[in-house]
Amino acid sequence: MAAPKVAVVGAGVIGLSTALCIAETCPSCSVTVLSDQFSPNTTSDVAAGMLIPHTYPGTPIHVQKQWFKETFAYLFAISNSAEASEAGIHLVSGWQVFKNTPKEELPFWSDVVLGFRPMSEAELQKFPQHRFGQAFTTLKCDCPPYLLWLEKRLKAIGVQMYTRKVADLWELHSEYNVVVNCAGIGAHQLVGDEKLFPIRGQVLKVQAPWVKNFIRDGDGLTYIYPGIHRVTLGGTREKESWSLSPDPSATKDIFDRCCSLEPSLRGAQDIKVKVGLRPSRQRVRLQREVLSQGGVKLPVVHNYGHGAGGFSVHRGTAKEAAHLVGECLAALQGASSRAKL
């Protein structure tokens, strides 16, 4: 078989990282990214980019933990390199605080992040409304720089990138040997996945350079995540809402909730409001499928549905998707060898 041609649909964190893993594991492949939007216009650009996993109820915990571990190790290496600032990756320490002690005091990811421990009484004094807390150090991606860094890496190794809206994966069958679907919430329409639904999220990106530690309420709704240039204040979680328009009452509510955790934020400047649709599902769809029409077959690998935790697991799921692409190519190779006999 000549150099196999692989198309990756989608240029959010999942599409770009999957394209990178495919190009790294299959150097003889010709990889192309097709997407109707690139950074700064994807959901991935809106995200806070914190590495604190979201739990997917339909995926075994050991699998989720493996995805998180691989992603943490990959980004930790970048954070320790001269690339860190350009890639927008940095370590950040802080607190997750709870009004009541949670049932699970040790989350599954507690031994992947660094220095996980219960908060001391002295630390808890900073949060008079909270009774329990966990302190740890994790990683944060500043999302637009990280997406641009991924794009730069892809271009450097010869991956092509084109702006194109794909109406149906089948339309790619004559141009590509394997298609990888990383369309995020776009997969709802692209492959008619009714199990995929949006959870709308609104956040504020503010200037508050004195805020150096993250603070997350254990309910996951209110958070303060300092990045290299701006602090992300969150948030909202609205299931099945497709609206991308900012809601001014939510802006005020987010700001007030964050100020009650960190009163100095009253002095924050240059408040920008962002909205994104988390591509949510009971489980990430990470699987092979073969489309077929009139005896012609098109192998597809799906990698979408990362909900509230795409950044936290992106490298792990990208590696698994690249492995599935390898299996598709091996099957094609086998079929073409048999045809020659």
> Which C-beta is closer to ligand FAD: that of 13 or that of 20?
13
Say whether 222 counts as a known binding-site residue: no
Residue 224 makes contact with ligand FAD by CB under 6 A: no
Q: Which of 7, 216, 190, 199 is nearest to 94 (CA)?
A: 216
Among 32, 42, 177, 222, binds ligand FAD (CB under 6 A): 42
Longest Cα–Cα distance of the chain, Å, equals 76
Instruction: Candidates 73-81, 205-213, 257-265, 306-314: pick the segment binding ligand FAD (CB under 6 A).
Output: 306-314
Among 184, 218, 299, 316, binds ligand FAD (CB under 6 A): 184
Say whether 176 counts as a known binding-site residue: no
Cβ contact 13:314 at 8 Å: yes
Residue 286 makes contact with ligand FAD by CB under 6 A: no
CA distances from 89 to 68, 106, 144, 147 (A): 16, 25, 11, 11
Q: Smallest gap, in angstroms, from Cβ of residue 262 to ligand FAD?
A: 17
Q: Smallest gap, in angstroms, from Cβ of residue 185 to ligand FAD?
A: 6
Residue 10 makes contact with ligand FAD by CB under 6 A: yes
Given phi > 0 = left and psi -120 to 50 = alpha, else beta, which region is 106?
Answer: beta
Residue 279 makes contact with ligand FAD by CB under 6 A: yes
Give the footprint of ligand FAD on residues 48-77 (CB under 6 A): 48-50
> Which C-beta is closer to ligand FAD: that of 182 or that of 321?
182
Residue 19 makes contact with ligand FAD by CB under 6 A: no
Residue 183 makes contact with ligand FAD by CB under 6 A: yes
Q: Smallest gap, in angstroms, from Cβ of residue 214 to ligand FAD?
A: 10
Give the footprint of ligand FAD on residues 203-222 (CB under 6 A): 203
Residue 198 makes contact with ligand FAD by CB under 6 A: no
Say whether 56 counts as a known binding-site residue: no
Q: Smallest gap, in angstroms, from Cβ of residue 283 to ligand FAD?
A: 13
| Residue 258 exposed, middle or buried by CB count within 10 Å (0-12, 13-18, 19+) | buried
Burial letters for 126-135: b for 16+ Cβ neighbours within 10 Å, e otherwise? ebeebebbbb
| CB contact set of 321 (below 8 Å; sequence gap of 6+) | 18, 21, 22, 180, 182, 286, 301, 303
Phi and psi at 2, nearest 5°, equal -65, 175
Say whether 166 counts as a known binding-site residue: yes
Among 32, 44, 79, 134, binds ligand FAD (CB under 6 A): 44
Q: Smallest gap, in angstroms, from Cβ of residue 77 to ligand FAD?
A: 18
Q: Smallest gap, in angstroms, from Cβ of residue 1 to ligand FAD?
A: 26
> Which C-beta is closer to ligand FAD: that of 27 or that of 322?
322
Say whether 43 counts as a known binding-site residue: yes
Phi and psi at 195, nearest 5°, equal -80, -10
As annotated, the binding site includes 43-44, 166, 223, 278
Which residue ranges make up the site for ligand FAD (CB under 6 A)? 9-15, 34-37, 42-44, 46-50, 165-166, 182-186, 190, 201, 203, 235, 276, 278-279, 304, 306-312
As annotated, the binding site for FAD includes 43-44, 166
